[in-house]
Amino acid sequence: MPITKSAKKALRQSQKRRVHNVQKRKTIKELVKKIRQLVAEKKNSEARAFLPQIYKLLDKAAKTNLIKKNTSSRKKSRITKMINRG
């Protein structure tokens, strides 16, 4: 357990950040699942409507170092490719 005042504050900050990061990751995963499900059901126009939303989430996650930049790019590329192919 932290002893110094600054260590206690750092612990509080990291706990808050962890909750925030877990929530963002969960949101990204849920949206990707939703898009894959729509593509599987041949509803590409509906899936395409979610593209701006997933792009925004992935870009923000990369910007804040939640995920790496190339991971964000790879995910965006594969999702777009899947929708266009489907």
* Banded pLDDT at 86 (limits 50, 70, 90): confident
Whether 78 is covered by a domain: the verdict is yes
Q: pTM of the entire structure?
A: 0.85
Whether 1 is covered by a domain: the verdict is no
User: Per this entry, what is the length of the chain?
Assistant: 86
Split into its structural domains, the chain has a count of: 1
Helices (H), the chain: 5-40, 44-49, 51-63, 69-85
CATH of the domain at 53: 1.20.58.110
CA distances from 33 to 15, 40, 54, 56 (A): 27, 10, 11, 16
Digit-coded pLDDT (tens) for 27-54: 999 999 999 999 999 999 999 999 999 9
In terms of residue numbers, what domain contains 70? 7-85
Whether 53 is covered by a domain: the verdict is yes
Whether 46 is covered by a domain: the verdict is yes
d(CA 44, CA 2): 51
Whether 57 is covered by a domain: the verdict is yes
Whether 75 is covered by a domain: the verdict is yes
42: region left, alpha or beta (phi > 0 left; psi from -120 to 50 alpha): left
